Structure 1
Amino acid sequence: MDENIFDKSDGMERSFEKGTDREHHAGLHDDVDHLGDASNIEIESEEAQIFSMREIDPVLDAKMRLVNKTMDEIGWTPMHLKLFFLNGFGYSADSLILALQAVTASQAALEFRPSFAYALNVAVYTGMLVGVLVWGLGADIIGRRFAFNVSLFSSSVFAIVAGSSPNWVVLAVFVSLAAFGAGGNLVLDTTVFLEYLPSNKQWLITLMACWWGLAYDATTCTKENNMGWRYIWYGNGGLVMLCSILRVTVIRLRETPKYLLTKGDDAAVVKTFQDIAQKYNRPCHLTLEALDSLGRITSTYGNSRYGFNELWAHICGLFVTKKLALSTTMIWLSWLLIGLAYPLFYVFLPDYLATRGAQTGQSGPYYQWRNYMLSSVAGIFGPVAAGFMCNLKVLGRRYTMAIGALITMAFFFAYTAVRTPAQNVGLSCAISFSLNIYYGTLYAYTPESLPSAHRATGNGIAVAFNRVMGLVSSFVAAYGNTATSVPIFVCAGLYVVMAFVAVMFPFEPYGKQAM
């Protein structure tokens, strides 16, 4: 890396001495011409960003480019490998809580005999909905580190306690609280990992979604007495707690540099990078003087540091330009569509197949868990394929999502013709694989295409749309006519819409640095 990249600060400082209003900040474009060789690097670095914040806050834009250059200078380290595994636990925890609810609900219902059998499904999606909003929006205010560590630990505690529930209502409450922590943590896993990654490794955010499928392989307890469902919650809650402890003891996570930067703590940014560079013997030429000379960031704050104005500032920050507003809206739409299409399909599918004489397999725990395992293992390789595809220039993130959505659509249509157990298992595995190509890439694209100062907020709201649709599917399953064929074809058709939206996204993160 060219050390002169940080020498441009003197010229930058001269441009900001002219004033701090937007008109003079915009003059930064003209002053770049006087920076010599460093100006060329400046222009190149702007082109290397997914989007620019220059017109909104040139100080933030300039500082963020310095931070990105520093991350690339330090490069990939063992710390990043630890983050990949420890953040992956969060993916697994979110998937695990959903799986635990699904596989224990029927056995718990035998004991408690509830009047509303879908209460646990409603509880888990409600908890995740509230969790992604509280932890996602809160992480932009209180910081990534606290939310990252506490959310997963709280999920483990409530998952364990759920196993001792004395009745159906209490069980639903604790399931919801466990989902509250796990669902919120899911937003932070991608956010934290991305905000430490060098630009040439951002594709790993897509690959990290493979952890989603691993959780289902852990819930294979088939104990037939009615204590079995309680043991499942105890055991898997303990596993999540172990993962949360490893996060604190193995990585000792610091606040992410980009969060610190957006909150104006330049000294902490420099210290974080210098400590990482020193520990792993990597170069780091970023100095506090270089950051301070660029000026003070003001665009990422509300009038009240911890009040509603601060929260509103983070929401508004996702719409500061027409292009960013379009991107944010399309991302949220994509999460809503996949949240509607996927669960509704599986709500209608069993009764639809049954009315047409399909024989989808023998009943019993062995066949149930065998099919779960096969589908989950196939799903692990979806993000692996997506990680390879999205790192190809010809595809990038957008076309990878489009391909995943269209293939899933084709398999969904094909599933309506299932008549044998072999067809059932085969198409289940194919759908799990292709769907996770889309899902895994969307999980990565979302934080990549949002500004750092408001990333957790935008990511949290996006996933919240997904959880809302999960709630809708619960009530449709309880009160709708699940034997009709129309919703299945509508759900499959939604994947065509998802593919179109993916292609039309205004930003392509391939080969560019997240802001």
Structure 2
Amino acid sequence: MAEKTMSDKSPEQLMSGEQSLQPVLSYRHGEMVTFTGIDEALFKKMELVNDAIDTIGFTPFHVKMFCLSGFGYAADSLLAFLPSMTNSYVVAEFTPSYKRAGQLSLYIGLLAGALVWGSSADIIGRKWAFNLSLFFTAIFATVAGGSPNYASWGVFNALLGFGAGGNLALDTTVLLEFLPHKQGWIITLMAAWWGVGQTIAGFIAWGFLPNFSWSLTAPTCTKPENMGWRYVYITAGALVLVMSVARVTVIRFKETPKYSLCRNDDEKVVEVLDGIATKYKRQFSLTIAELQECGQVRSTHASSKASLSEVFLHIKGLFLTKKEGLSTSLVLLSWAIIGLAYPLFYIFLPDYLSSRGAEFGESSAFITWRNYVITNTLAIPGPMIAACLCRIPLIGRRYTMVIVTFLLAYTAVRNDAQNLGFSCAVSVAINIYYGTLYAYTPEVLPSAHRATGSGISLALNRFMGIVSVIVATFASTTTDVPVYLCGALFGALAIAAVLFPYEPAKSRAE
């Protein structure tokens, strides 16, 4: 039997001993809960709810939630690629003085969205953020396709980024809080939806940009002959709108039982879980009386939700013990590093390879977007491989992430065939890392503060994306320094993964 708690003492023993006022972490059923002398109720209620979820088991409801939550992944990756895919065509039409505003504004929107949607999900609940964020994103993605000038295009990119920014924090949180522990690996697998979004983006671009865009041989670029990028935005927005409608029609999502638990809404906890068990004829015996006998949860919310103290409480909850603080710090560091290293790697790599004699052959728009689709399609198997690797006891979540160091081999590329081959391999490898990190993050964050921690992680990632755009604007691409700096950052990611103090896959015997 794998270790169930980080302490050899029961909650009752802790209550009677000298440690009763000290935070102690319970990490059972893949759920981290902070137990203190005044929060015994949270500890006991979470155990009851986790047992009930495991008893119900995996149902068609979870399959639906896997798809609906995955839509957020797909939408995020689909929309995040729009500014970079269309930038050259937008710049040709509007001829701005600063040519990276699209990417920069998107990252600013993603950063703000991660913070706002993430923290609000811990304060007012998962339901509203889960249901509204995609709809908000779809509207502004569609509107961006009608931008009359470069400034408005940048503003609409920021707004669609704001809507998409919190999706990844919410998607993993929502699914994880319904999922039996034995199926925890599905959180890693869900990142395959990221590759689906990238692939859809590639197909949309491949269909519109080569056929409805300004030709480089034409003397001027006008709107009627450069509609391709507008079609890309409008099509992407329409697809995300369909996803947002599916979220509120396929399942009538009420609230996750663990958020309701932290709000002392015991009736809602039982109602939601009993509804799933009844519909799919599964065993369920948890009662409101059992939960109420545990007492009132007092440490997960401030006296007023509409206050800064509520926000600070959720942030403080991520660092209550040294071990928890180390874990949170390493998670945040990993998100920051990959947020800088990954975009820098791709920004500087083409110029670096060209300066070292790489011959990429034909460079037509058709070939460019064909290769783009092939590379992004191979982002889908990355999380599938990660989901398999993380279930191997000797590897788990942490050592799966070490695979990202494979990216360093890319600097050996010298021709078009090698470029496509290594691009595909890199796409698989980076999505193994991302898929695992996306799953690991909510798994090791305390349930009451999970969305806030995920939101901060993603915000750091977006902030470093902003830094990468600024660096790309002013740094030289003629030296080896940027690429090898990225290599060092990827190495740091591997070291951080080894140092992570928790391994969710080993928290309970399968």
TM-based fold match above 0.5:
yes
Distance in 1 (alpha carbons) for counterparts of 2:346 and 2:421:
16
Distance in 1 (alpha carbons) for counterparts of 2:144 and 2:484:
37
Distance in 2 (alpha carbons) for counterparts of 1:512 and 1:247:
32
In structure 2, the CA distance between the partners of 1:406 and 1:361, relative to structure 1 (3 Å rule), is same
The partner residue of 1:147 within 115, 126, 129 is 129
Does residue 170 (structure 1) correspond to residue 152 (structure 2)? The answer is yes
Q: Find the counterpart in structure 1 of residue 484 from structure 2.
A: 489
Distance in 1 (alpha carbons) for counterparts of 2:361 and 2:387:
33
Q: Find the counterpart in structure 2 of residue 233 from structure 1.
A: 233
Q: Find the counterpart in structure 2 of residue 502 from structure 1.
A: 497
What's the C-alpha RMSD, in Å, of the aligned pairs? 2.0
The answer to whether the 8 A contact 1:361-1:367 is kept is no
Alignment of 1:388-467 (within 5 A): 388-402=388-402, 404-408=403-407, 412=408, 414-467=409-462
> 4+ residue stretches of structure 1 with deviation over 6 A?
24-28
Does residue 67 (structure 1) correspond to residue 66 (structure 2)? The answer is no
Q: Find the counterpart in structure 1 of residue 474 from structure 2.
A: 479
The answer to whether the 8 A contact 1:351-1:483 is kept is yes
CA shift at 1:417, angstroms?
2.4
The partner residue of 1:128 within 82, 96, 110 is 110
Distance in 1 (alpha carbons) for counterparts of 2:32 and 2:151:
48
CA shift at 1:216, angstroms?
2.3
The answer to whether the 8 A contact 2:347-2:472 is kept is yes
Percent identity between the two aligned chains: 50
Q: Find the counterpart in structure 2 of residue 278 from structure 1.
A: 278
Q: 1:163-204, CA deviations, whole angstroms, 9 ceiling, x for partnerless residues? A: 111100001101110111112112101110101100011101
Distance in 2 (alpha carbons) for counterparts of 1:75 and 1:457:
27
Does residue 351 (structure 1) correspond to residue 361 (structure 2)? The answer is no
- Of residues 190-199 and 299-308 in structure 1, the stretch that sits farther from structure 2 once superposed is 299-308
Q: 1:273-299, CA deviations, whole angstroms, 9 ceiling, x for partnerless residues? A: 111111111111100111000111101
User: Secondary structure in 2 aligned to 1:493?
Assistant: helix
Distance in 2 (alpha carbons) for counterparts of 1:509 and 1:379:
24
The answer to whether the 8 A contact 2:32-2:445 is kept is no
- Of residues 47-56 and 229-238 in structure 1, the stretch that sits farther from structure 2 once superposed is 47-56
Distance in 2 (alpha carbons) for counterparts of 1:52 and 1:233:
42
Distance in 2 (alpha carbons) for counterparts of 1:232 and 1:437:
28
Distance in 1 (alpha carbons) for counterparts of 2:380 and 2:495:
25
Q: 1:406-438, CA deviations, whole angstroms, 9 ceiling, x for partnerless residues? A: 323xxx2x2222111001001111111111111
The answer to whether the 8 A contact 1:360-1:418 is kept is no
The answer to whether the 8 A contact 1:152-1:185 is kept is yes
TM-score of the superposed pair, with normalisation by structure 1: 0.89
Distance in 1 (alpha carbons) for counterparts of 2:424 and 2:264:
48
Matched residue type, 1:430: A
Does residue 157 (structure 1) correspond to residue 160 (structure 2)? The answer is no
Distance in 1 (alpha carbons) for counterparts of 2:312 and 2:41:
21
Q: Find the counterpart in structure 2 of residue 6 from structure 1.
A: none
- Of residues 214-223 and 443-452 in structure 1, the stretch that sits farther from structure 2 once superposed is 214-223
Distance in 1 (alpha carbons) for counterparts of 2:17 and 2:291:
19
More helix by share: 1
Distance in 2 (alpha carbons) for counterparts of 1:129 and 1:27:
39
CA shift at 1:22, angstroms?
6.3
Aligned length: 476
CA shift at 1:361, angstroms?
3.5
Alignment of 1:29-68 (within 5 A): 48-49=29-30, 51-55=32-36, 57-68=39-50
Does residue 264 (structure 1) correspond to residue 264 (structure 2)? The answer is yes
In structure 2, the CA distance between the partners of 1:80 and 1:47, relative to structure 1 (3 Å rule), is closer
The answer to whether the 8 A contact 1:300-1:314 is kept is yes
The answer to whether the 8 A contact 1:206-1:383 is kept is yes
The answer to whether the 8 A contact 1:46-1:65 is kept is no
Distance in 1 (alpha carbons) for counterparts of 2:27 and 2:120:
29
User: Secondary structure in 2 aligned to 1:53?
Assistant: strand
Q: Find the counterpart in structure 2 of residue 95 from structure 1.
A: 77
Matched residue type, 1:81: V
Distance in 2 (alpha carbons) for counterparts of 1:83 and 1:260:
18
Q: Which consecutive unaligned segments of at least 5 residues does structure 2 have?
A: 1-9, 214-224
Q: Find the counterpart in structure 2 of residue 116 from structure 1.
A: 98
The answer to whether the 8 A contact 1:132-1:187 is kept is yes
CA shift at 1:369, angstroms?
1.0
CA shift at 1:50, angstroms?
5.1
The answer to whether the 8 A contact 1:199-1:512 is kept is no
Distance in 2 (alpha carbons) for counterparts of 1:175 and 1:453:
32
CA shift at 1:46, angstroms?
6.3
Alignment of 1:365-404 (within 5 A): 365-402=365-402, 404=403
Distance in 2 (alpha carbons) for counterparts of 1:280 and 1:24:
44
